[in-house]
Amino acid sequence: MTHTDQQHINSIRTGDNAGLHRIYREFLPRIHALITQNGGSYDDARDVFQDALVVLFDKCRTENFALSSSFSTLLYGVCRNLWGNRLQKKSRSEVSLTDDLKFTDSTDIEFDLVQAERESIFWDALRRLGTECRKLLELFFEKKSMEEIAETMQLSSVGYAKKRKFICKEQLIEQVKSDVRYKDWDGDASREF
């Protein structure tokens, strides 16, 4: 069964596992070819592909999103831009990629790419924290009150929960700052974390 572009978008938007697996099977080989032809590895291709799906997830959930090209063109363009951005950060010079397909989406993809990179750094840093800190911060990000956090985490008091939150937040900031991708940004970008 052939899936339409809109079905691919709906799979990303809803997080449909079967649909996402279809997208991986159908499009990852092409992205692998793009990345390996331009100095990357299979693991780089998977990372870029996953980051591109995050960009598309965020983009397709906006009210004014409309697919102005084929899904494959959009996905290829996002992956191409993400990989070019990474190469450029590494080399600090202009990067030229093999171009067998022009990216035609007219939306502000550069903003989306920067946002995806920042989110990737943040979530990677959060995953590197210890289990207790990660859980505490996740509760905090879910807007739970300090009372709820103290109770859920079985902490002795709200005051101690606040102290642990501060310590965990500092650890998260250090994890973000230690990420090489964070260090590659200029001052303006890094201040937005």
Specify burial of residue 79 (Cβ count, 10 A radius: 0-12, 13-18, 19+). buried
Longest dimension (CA), the chain: 61
pLDDT at 70: 82
pLDDT at 110: 53
pLDDT at 134: 87
Contact 125, 88 (CB under 8 A): no
pLDDT at 147: 94
pLDDT at 155: 92
Q: Nearest-CA neighbor of 43 among 62, 21, 28, 25? A: 28
Cα separation, 59 vs 148, in Å, equals 33
Contact 35, 78 (CB under 8 A): no
How far are the Cα atoms of 42, 72, 75, 94 from residue 57, in angstroms, in the given order? 22, 15, 11, 28
Domain ranges of the chain: 5-109, 129-185
- pLDDT tens, the chain, 193 aa long: 456 888 988 888 888 888 888 998 889 998 888 888 888 888 899 999 999 998 888 888 887 777 777 888 888 888 988 888 887 776 554 444 444 433 444 445 555 555 666 766 777 788 888 899 989 988 888 888 999 999 999 999 999 999 999 999 999 888 888 877 676 554 444 334 3
pLDDT at 91: 59
Contact 42, 32 (CB under 8 A): yes
pLDDT at 124: 78
Contact 16, 10 (CB under 8 A): yes
pTM over 0.85: no
DSSP 8-state class, residue 63 = T
Helix (H, G, I), strand (E, B) or coil at 15: coil
Specify burial of residue 83 (Cβ count, 10 A radius: 0-12, 13-18, 19+). buried
- CATH number of the structural domain 5-109: 1.10.1740
Contact 165, 182 (CB under 8 A): no
pLDDT at 66: 78
pLDDT at 104: 40
pLDDT at 111: 57
